[in-house]
Amino acid sequence: MNIVFQQRLHLVIQGAVQGVGFRPFIYRLAADLGLTGWVNNSAQGVVIDIEGVRSQLDTFLHRLNQEKPSRSHIQSLESSWFDPVGYSIFEIRKSVVGEKTAIVLPDIATCPECLQEIFDPTNRRYRYPFTNCTNCGPRFSILDALPYDRSNTTMQYFKVCRDCQIEYGNPGDRRFHAQPNACPQCGPHLQLWNPSGEIASHDNALKIAADAIRQGKIVAIKGLGGFHLMVDARNETAIQRLRQAKQRAAKPFALMYPSLELIKADCEVSELEEQLLRSPEAPIVLLKHSKTQTLNAKIAPSVAPHNPYLGIMLPYTPLHHLLMADVGFPIVATSGNLADEPICTDEQEAIQRLGTIADLFLIHNREIARPIDDSIVRVVMEQKVVLRRARGYAPLPISIHSKSKILSVGAHLKNTIAFSTNQQVFVSQHIGDLETVPAFEAFQQTIASFQQIYELQPTAIACDLHPDYRSTQFAHQLANQLQIPVIPVQHHYAHILSCMAEHQLEGSVLGIAWDGTGYGSDGTLWGGEFLHITDTTFRRVAHLRSFHLPGGDKAVKEPRRSAIGLLYELYGDQVFEMKALDSIQTFSDQELKILKTMLNKNLNAPITSSAGRLFDAIASILGLRQYIQFEGQAAMELEFAIEGFETDESYPFEIQSTRSPTSPKKSEILDWAAMVRRILIDSRSGLSISNISAKFHNTLVEMIVAIANRVGEERVVLTGGCFQNKYLTERAIQRLRAEGFRPYWHQKIPANDGGIALGQIMAALREISGGKERCV
Amino acid sequence: LAHGGGGKLMHQLIEQMFVPAFSNATLNVRQDAAAIALNGQNLAFTTDSYVVRPLFFPGGDIGSLAVNGTVNDLAMVGARPLYLSAGFILEEGLPMETLWRIVQSMQQAAQAANVQIVTGDTKVVDNGKGDGIFVNTAGIGIIEYPQIIAPQSVQPGDVVILNGDIGRHGIAIMAVREGLEFETTIESDSAPLADLVLQLLAAGIEIHCMRDLTRGGLASALNEIAEVAGMEIAIVETQIPVREDVQGACEILGFDPLYVANEGRFVAFIPTKDAEQALGIMRSHKIEKENSNLSDINPCIIGYVTEKSSGIVKMTSKIGVQRIVDMLSGEQLPRIC
Ligand SMILES: [Fe+3]
Ligand SMILES: [Mg+2]
Ligand SMILES: [Zn+2]
Ligand SMILES: [Zn+2]
């Protein structure tokens, strides 16, 4: 062998390269090409030191890129050439510890090979609910620390048996270096509990649980990222009982179906939707029920009242596959929690918190390191749009061009947190509403665990401008403790920056942030905003006309109050004479008098430019809904009311220019007065609600187009909770495109407040670098 | 300046402006009244200004409020109130008759609370520069018991006792001022608390901390104590008495009764062993007050102090969820006291 022609290549590969069978792949490739050296996992990613003939090394690099495992994603590859050291073999070396910048992989749904094994009576993993391999299985939900090795996961408490060890050590095996590898001999197992203790275990536990579901019982099942409450989706009585016990009046329940075929029997499923259902992320996909037939599976009406969509997922762990195969019909699979609390992850805690809800508990002895809910996606404009980003998607990072280490604490509802480090932003999984003690604890734990996993020391903390968000209060306390600055970020600015970050947009755009309410820079409630974003800052170039919300927070729960506030803006005290409206009728005369005083005297009636509250007001005026039972309900029902009605008609509106005394530049107010007057006329004359709702939506889109034309920025960013509305978003995109604009909307990161944490990071980076911060 | 609501902004103003500027050992205890050792005697000293509108309201007026408020601040550190000063800032044009009614009311309140108004001051400002009348009172009392009644004395396991229903004063004042018509006339709960507190102390109840619920209501008082004590306070929503008419008024107005002002309500932090006895004394104690519908006052245990050092207040809601009771910055009610 002529050493002269030999060279050594050193590679550091970053990205999603751990826990996807990357090292075994490298091992096989090296063996194939007759190269020697080693590969290991370090906290920075995968490190390869490999030597041999130069041409073979070039082929190695080429094939590495071409043939890498499908779940892996290379973010960066640093290569350097050295003299060879004379390795005689290629080996997988032990992981080393260092600065933590490697990417933690999300959990992956069961792969087809594993699935086949668990249903094969001759296989040693027949009916084993914890089967996995390098292509599938738990990752983030069992991870305690980096690098991703068994000893850093909750699988460390299970000693591998000989057979599993052989698989783990065999480069030719699908389970070569599969960290959570397990089998019935050595791995976790099931138990069935009733409130007084264990009543069955192993496969028996599963079978009894399936029977119980068949009999209409509520079973709490410990899954991958937490507990589900499961009940027969066809059993109206059982579902009502679940609603009662969970104190969840109307918010739709997610469903798990045994098979794609059964889903297709009940819903319209596009090719993309099918792909999403079957993807390794296996999210809940919002699917429209078939209009043509009644639901084959006879889904009970209270699963998703007044809702043309069902949230459906396929089984994504062997446990779920076995259970669904046993029952054979769709079941409700809703988060195991009480009201708005976060999902339970521990069996003792579940018995305490869910004891009054569930009849039985199907649990197992593999610990869940952190709670992760199911993700929710829908298809908008033929694209996947993530509405709740959790299992399968979190915590994959968003790339940026900064190495600053910043923590952001997100909003108050639908909270997520985020960390930036080393040209990446890690956005946490959906944590929930920070109203409850368990949610606040989960929030603190998520921050602590992100800090620990990535060994992060933030240099600043970004939070919302709203002083009363629990996250804001926490940010101030933590910053005080760490002696680092707090950077408060305006809510809608954060919404827009989060959408820009996921599309890697830099420079200036017109951002349209429409949501419920957020704290404005002027101390009033914003929510129908047009912000012109420049490199360093933003300017509020236009907003929806403001109106009063009598009762403040209470008005969010009662759309009729938004309606009264809106109409008061137009008609003054006369609104109280409009007795034909449900918005007025549902109040007593005495209550109306008090509301009148509140509006006359500006008593607990804050003003808002919120688009969400405008939706509420119209829903109330049309008699659709006066009280909501969950966030966004009235607006959703107004969207659903369109029911496929097709029209291009819209209502008139006006644009008024104002000049604030503090700013030389003018800003525009979108005045909905003419629209509201016409809606009242249409409604009185008996025009269908479908038609009115379509015209209302169209008008909002025309408002967007009108301001886009005035501002003249080619790129228009649509963000905020209102853009979860499919009709509004799709029509806005189409109309903006028709007028020559380039619209952007959320796909990876939620349009709702789940995206705020990312936006806060981006705003803080802009502030720190004085605008020089750029996306990749 | 939106700092008047007694919420977080006022709290921040005090913490960031006054405390650092005036910092001293007595002030830094941050109680309603300062405890001062003087010639071997332990004195309590406090001051408060009253800018309430309207001047007269069901269940009280600015005069009785000015006396009771200061008496209560002294009582909250366990002192026996003795002497009060009274300062008046009168706006030119205030009818003499109005002033006379106020003065008379102060005299009656002082008598009922067993204190003497021993010094005073009067200034007149031009028409338009005042709001009819502002009253300031300062008070001195004597602390006769050795225990230190302050947030720092709060212990895990202490029960939190509330001496009656909440939210009446704030709603009563607002109803009159804004001309709101509720089904019943809601009366302020304004009342002197010193006599009751002294009875508790005389009976040997080991009171760790007390706080009268004024601006910012129960929520703000508990949050302040939780923060200074560095403990978690857990309360139970169904245990907190709110009269139906007050609840109804809060519903329509969109207020949370936890944040509405009171003038005759306080919380006491007491070890479990003394709780039942304290409740007994509170129940049998008659608050001297005329023309009042206070017969239904029902003292009760609303929660307890837990081991956690998070400084938060949590509440088990009606549906069994553990909610965080935050310290809010905004004005749930405009300046009422
Ligand atoms: Fe928002
Ligand atoms: Mg005071
Ligand atoms: Zn697999
Ligand atoms: Zn095994």
Averaged pLDDT for residues B222-232:
94
Q: Which of A613, A614, A558 is nearest to A586 (CA)?
A: A558
Spatial neighbors of B226 by CB under 8 A, at least 6 apart, are B232, B233, B311, B312, B313
Q: Is residue A178 part of a domain?
A: no
Of B182, B321, B326, the CB nearest to A340: B321
A172 close to B (CB below 8 A): no
Candidates A470, A522, A554, A608: best to mutate against B (most CBs of B within 10 A) is A554
CB pairs under 8 A between A and B: 70
Q: Which residues pair with B185 in a beta bridge?
A: none
Show residues of chain A in contact with B332, CB under 8 Å.
604
Q: Tell me which of A2, A8, A23, A174 is the catalytic residue.
A: A23
Q: Cβ contact (<8 Å) for A437 and B253? A: no
Cα–Cα distance measured from residue A753 to residue A413, given in angstroms and rounded to the nearest whole number = 7
CA distance A445 to chain B (A): 14
A436 and A399 belong to one structural domain: yes
Residue type, A763: A
Measured in Å, residue A213 CA sits from the centre of ligand 2 at 59
CA distance B298 to chain A (A): 29
Q: Is residue A246 part of a domain?
A: yes
Which ligand does the CA of A187 lie closest to? 4
A402 and A487 belong to one structural domain: yes
Cα–Cα distance measured from residue B27 to residue B31, given in angstroms and rounded to the nearest whole number = 8
A263 and A339 belong to one structural domain: yes
Residue B219 has pLDDT above 50, yes or no: yes
Q: Is residue A155 part of a domain?
A: no
Structure tokens at A28: 């096989």
Q: Cβ contact (<8 Å) for B324 and A435? A: yes
ipTM of the assembly?
Answer: 0.90
pLDDT digits (tens, 9 = 90+) for B108-145: 999 999 999 999 999 999 998 888 999 999 999 999 99
Candidates A444, A463, A468, A553: best to mutate against B (most CBs of B within 10 A) is A468
**Residue the block writes with tokens 């959570």:** A180
Longest dimension (CA), chain A: 100
Q: Which of B8, B33, B14 is nearest to B193 (CA)?
A: B33
Residues of chain B with a CB closer than 8 angstroms to some CB in chain A:
8, 174, 178-183, 251-255, 312, 314, 319-324, 326-330, 332
Q: Are A724 and A751 in contact (CB under 8 A)?
A: yes
Q: How many CB atoms lie within 10 A of CB A375?
A: 25
Cα–Cα distance measured from residue A611 to residue A514, given in angstroms and rounded to the nearest whole number = 6
Measured in Å, residue A124 CA sits from the centre of ligand 3 at 14
Asked about A41 being catalytic, the answer comes back as: yes
**Dihedral pair phi/psi, residue A663, rounded to 5°:** -125, 140
CB-neighbour burial class of residue A123 (10 A; exposed 0-12, middle 13-18, buried 19+): middle
Cα–Cα distance measured from residue A744 to residue A495, given in angstroms and rounded to the nearest whole number = 13
Spatial neighbors of A6 by CB under 8 A, at least 6 apart, are A51, A52, A53, A54, A84
- Cis status, amide bond into A395, omega within 30 of 0: yes
Residue where a domain stops, chosen among A323, A338, A364 = A364
A335 and A470 belong to one structural domain: no
Asked about A480 being catalytic, the answer comes back as: no
Cα–Cα distance measured from residue B124 to residue A43, given in angstroms and rounded to the nearest whole number = 74
Q: Cβ contact (<8 Å) for B252 and A593? A: no
- Cis status, amide bond into A458, omega within 30 of 0: no
Beta A406-408 vs A460-464: how paired, if at all? parallel
Beta B34-38 vs B41-50: how paired, if at all? antiparallel
Residue where a domain stops, chosen among A445, A473, A491 = A491
A296 and A410 belong to one structural domain: no
Q: Is residue A681 part of a domain?
A: no
Measured in Å, residue A181 CA sits from the centre of ligand 4 at 7
A405 and A354 belong to one structural domain: no
A357 close to B (CB below 8 A): no
CA distance A222 to chain B (A): 21
Write out the residue range of the structural domain in which residue A273 sits: 190-364
Structure tokens at A6: 């030999």
Q: Which of B314, B310, B311, B157 is nearest to B236 (CA)?
A: B314
Q: Cβ contact (<8 Å) for A597 and B319? A: no
pLDDT number for residue A384: 95
Q: Cβ contact (<8 Å) for B254 and A554? A: yes
Cα–Cα distance measured from residue A336 to residue A316, given in angstroms and rounded to the nearest whole number = 17
Cα–Cα distance measured from residue A350 to residue A769, given in angstroms and rounded to the nearest whole number = 46
pLDDT number for residue B332: 45
Q: Which of B310, B154, B231 is nearest to A470 (CA)?
A: B310
Show residues of chain A in contact with B183, CB under 8 Å.
590
DSSP class of residue B14 equals I
A394 and A441 belong to one structural domain: yes
Q: How far is CA B42 from the centre of its chain?
A: 22
In the sheet that holds A227-232, the strands lie side by side as: A197-201, A190-194, A360-364, A219-222, A227-232, A331-335, A254-256, A309-313, A284-288, A376-380, A383-388
Q: Are B73 and B212 in contact (CB under 8 A)?
A: yes
* Domain count across chain A: 3
Domains of chain B: residue spans and CATH: 8-143 (3.30.1330.10), 151-325 (3.90.650.10)
Residue B288 has pLDDT above 50, yes or no: no
From residue A62, alpha-carbon distances to A75, A82, A587, B185 in Å are: 16, 19, 72, 84
Residue B5 has pLDDT above 60, yes or no: no
Q: What end-to-end distance do the CA atoms of chain A give, in Å? A: 45
Split at pLDDT 50, 70, 90, the class of B53 is confident
Residue type, B77: V
Q: Are A313 and A282 in contact (CB under 8 A)?
A: yes
Q: Cβ contact (<8 Å) for B253 and A598? A: yes
Q: Is residue A737 part of a domain?
A: no
By C-alpha distance, the chain A residue nearest B12 is A467
Q: Which residues pair with A285 in a beta bridge?
A: A312, A377
Q: Are A136 and A110 in contact (CB under 8 A)?
A: yes
Of A435, A467, A554, the CB nearest to B323: A435
By C-alpha distance, the chain A residue nearest B184 is A590
Q: What CATH number does the domain containing A61 carry?
A: 3.30.70.100
Residue where a domain stops, chosen among A338, A364, A390 = A364
Q: What CATH number does the domain containing A459 carry?
A: 3.30.420.360
Measured in Å, residue A173 CA sits from the centre of ligand 3 at 11
Q: Are A355 and A264 in contact (CB under 8 A)?
A: no
A288 and A392 belong to one structural domain: no
**Residue the block writes with tokens 């309410």:** A517
By C-alpha distance, the chain B residue nearest A340 is B321
By C-alpha distance, the chain B residue nearest A549 is B254
Q: Is residue A724 part of a domain?
A: no
Residues of chain A below pLDDT 50: 1-3, 293, 771-776
A331 and A411 belong to one structural domain: no
Residue type, A90: F
Q: Cβ contact (<8 Å) for B178 and A341? A: no
Cα–Cα distance measured from residue A510 to residue A538, given in angstroms and rounded to the nearest whole number = 9
By C-alpha distance, the chain B residue nearest A466 is B329
Cα–Cα distance measured from residue A487 to residue B240, given in angstroms and rounded to the nearest whole number = 38
Q: Which residues pair with B140 in a beta bridge?
A: B45, B83
Show residues of chain B in contact with A243, CB under 8 Å.
none
Show residues of chain A in contact with B322, CB under 8 Å.
341, 436-438
Spatial neighbors of B91 by CB under 8 A, at least 6 apart, are B124, B125, B126, B127, B128, B129, B130, B131, B132, B133
A586 close to B (CB below 8 A): no
A333 and A458 belong to one structural domain: no
Q: Cβ contact (<8 Å) for B183 and A603? A: no
CB-neighbour burial class of residue A365 (10 A; exposed 0-12, middle 13-18, buried 19+): middle
pLDDT number for residue A21: 81
A286 and A222 belong to one structural domain: yes
pLDDT number for residue A407: 97
Residue type, A54: R
A397 and A466 belong to one structural domain: yes
Q: Cβ contact (<8 Å) for A437 and B324? A: yes
Q: Are A140 and A345 in contact (CB under 8 A)?
A: no
Q: Is residue A396 part of a domain?
A: yes
Q: Tell me which of A41, A132, A698, A725 is the catalytic residue.
A: A41
Show residues of chain A in contact with B329, CB under 8 Å.
467-468
Measured in Å, residue A317 CA sits from the centre of ligand 4 at 18
Averaged pLDDT for residues B162-172:
95
3-state SS class at B142: strand
pLDDT number for residue B4: 47
Show residues of chain A in contact with B174, CB under 8 Å.
603
Q: What CATH number does the domain containing A307 carry?
A: 3.90.870.40
Q: Cβ contact (<8 Å) for B8 and A438? A: no
Determine the length of chain B.
337
Q: Cβ contact (<8 Å) for A552 and B323? A: no
Q: Cβ contact (<8 Å) for A593 and B320? A: no
Structure tokens at A234: 């066809």
DSSP class of residue A235 equals -
CA distance A442 to chain B (A): 13
Q: Is residue A649 part of a domain?
A: no
Spatial neighbors of A734 by CB under 8 A, at least 6 apart, are none
Cα–Cα distance measured from residue B241 to residue B300, given in angstroms and rounded to the nearest whole number = 8
The mean pLDDT of chain B is 89
pLDDT number for residue A102: 66
The proportion of chain B whose per-residue pLDDT surpasses 70, expressed as a percent, equals 92
Q: How many CB atoms lie within 10 A of CB A372?
A: 27
In DSSP notation, A392-454 reads TTTT--EE-S----EEE---SSSB--EEEETTEEEEPPP-B-TTBHHHHHHHHHHHHHHHHHT
